[in-house]
Amino acid sequence: MESFTYTSSPSRVIFGYGASSKLPDELSRQGLRAALIISTPYQTAEANKIRDLLDLNAVGVFSEAAMHTPTDITEMALEVARRLEADCVVSVGGGSTTGLGKAISIRTSLPHICIPTTYAGSEMTPILGETTNGLKTTRRDPKILPAMVIYDIDLTVTLPQGLSATSGVNAIAHAVEALYAPDTNPIIRLLAKEGIRALAESLPAIVKDGSDISARSKALYGAWLCGQCLGSTAMSLHHNLCHVVGGSFNLPHAETHTILLPHTMAYNSPAVPVARRDLAEVLPGANGDPIKGLNSLLDRLGVKRALKDYGLKEEDIDRAATIAVKNQYSNPRNVEEESIRELIRRAWAGEPARSDL
């Protein structure tokens, strides 16, 4: 076996049905008594439930979290945290809320307790993506990683089936890139394959029946593993391109990942034979071809396949390609602007991914 380095994330994780009920005891164990609860405007009901659960140990709710973690929203949240003298932040929701919790925590050193309600997986990463004036930048720091993650399966049951599908594919994307990351290793490959397998099996079941609690449990487990992969390896073309398209053109995060994933995998496919084999092993219907498997999975989930459906204009394609190749980053295949432009065009039009770029 080849030599490798593996660094594990130190978060405390609680997983199970009704797991959020353990939050008061967990805060007490850490001596925390003034939690600021954060959410998006669409998840205030969930945030208020956590506030009621904490009772006097909750100092307030900030419900303005937004996609791509705009820094102006972060400044608003920081002011609220200071005014209420919060001693920790509890994020309740998906990637947008988790991102805001990370942004507050890294600026203040307040402990961040994360309660995910989607399959985004960002709660397991020391990575923060923020947007200022339409430009999204990403940084990595061990201090960004939430101190604790509570996976409450019950809180995911109300996640709409369509959003469940795109959120789950977003998680799969984390593991796909980890399979061919320059710093991947046998442990990460095991986690990635298990995470992808769990999500590929559970997401179609959730789309069929959103109340399938067993499928919900398996999907949340898979998302945890996939997030762990992203947090332990370097990001490549896929995540860079999603940050460009999503952050610069204000496209929804999970949907952008879902649409681009087969295309970015197809682009890198010739350069990653081991990752191709690994991915084909865990995708139902792949029959040795991971691109076929990904296309098939998205068809089964019934998700939209075109970036134009979410507001990307045809005239935006050139600018997106230019931004995508502006900065250097690790990728198993050279990133060429002309090919990336065609990749984005195919994703904009909603064409099936194919390995001919």
pLDDT digits (tens, 9 = 90+) for 42-76: 999 999 999 999 999 999 999 999 988 999 999 99
Q: Taking 90 as the threshold, does the pLDDT of residue 265 lie above it?
A: yes
With helix as H, strand as E and coil as C, how does 239-276 read? HHHHHHHHHHHCCCHHHHHHHHHHHHHHHHHHHCHHHH
Half-sphere exposure of 287 (CA within 13 A, CB side): 4
Q: Taking 80 as the threshold, does the pLDDT of residue 1 lie above it?
A: no
Give tens-digit pLDDT for 196-248. Answer: 999 999 999 999 999 999 999 999 999 999 999 988 898 899 999 998 888 88
Backbone dihedral region for residue 190 (phi beyond 0: left; psi -120 to 50: alpha; all else: beta)? alpha
Contacts for 16 with CB less than 8 Å, ≥ 6 apart: 151, 152, 153
Q: Model confidence at 24, in pLDDT bands (50, 70, 90)?
A: very high
Separation of alpha carbons 183 and 170, rounded Å: 21
Coil, strand or helix: which one is 235? coil
Give tens-digit pLDDT for 151-183. Answer: 999 999 999 999 999 999 999 999 999 999 999
**Residue 329 in tokens:** 């980053």
Separation of alpha carbons 237 and 232, rounded Å: 16
Q: What is the pTM of this model?
A: 0.90
Q: What is the mean pLDDT of residues 15-21?
A: 96
Half-sphere exposure of 158 (CA within 13 A, CB side): 11
- pLDDT for residue 236: 92
Q: Report which of 124, 97, 96 is spatially closest to residue 36, judged by C-alpha positions.
A: 97
User: How long is the chain?
Assistant: 357
- pLDDT for residue 331: 94
Give tens-digit pLDDT for 26-47. Answer: 999 999 999 999 999 999 999 9
| 8 A C-beta contact, residue 290 and residue 330 | no
Compute φ and ψ for 36, nearest 5 degrees.
Answer: -95, 120
Q: At what angle do helices 253-268 and 290-301 cross, to 10 degrees?
A: 160
Separation of alpha carbons 178 and 230, rounded Å: 6
Compute φ and ψ for 69, nearest 5 degrees.
Answer: 50, 70
CA quadruple 251, 161, 257, 8: dihedral, nearest 10: 120
Q: What is the mean pLDDT of the chain?
A: 94
Contacts for 341 with CB less than 8 Å, ≥ 6 apart: 317, 318, 321
Residue 233 per-residue DSSP state: S
Q: Model confidence at 10, in pLDDT bands (50, 70, 90)?
A: low
Residue scoring higher pLDDT (120 or 331): 331
Separation of alpha carbons 51 and 48, rounded Å: 5
Separation of alpha carbons 207 and 191, rounded Å: 24
Taken in order of first residue, the domains within the chain and their CATH numbers are: 12-156 (3.40.50.1970), 164-349 (1.20.1090.10)
Q: What is the mean pLDDT of residues 132-159?
A: 92
Q: Report which of 308, 117, 128, 130 is spatially closest to residue 231, judged by C-alpha positions.
A: 128
Lowest mean pLDDT among 49-53, 81-85, 120-124, 304-308: 120-124
- pLDDT for residue 5: 77
Q: Report which of 79, 13, 17, 24 is spatially closest to residue 51, judged by C-alpha positions.
A: 24
Give tens-digit pLDDT for 302-347. Answer: 999 999 999 999 999 999 999 999 877 889 999 999 999 999 999 9
Give tens-digit pLDDT for 273-305. Answer: 999 999 999 999 899 999 999 999 999 999 999
- pLDDT for residue 160: 95
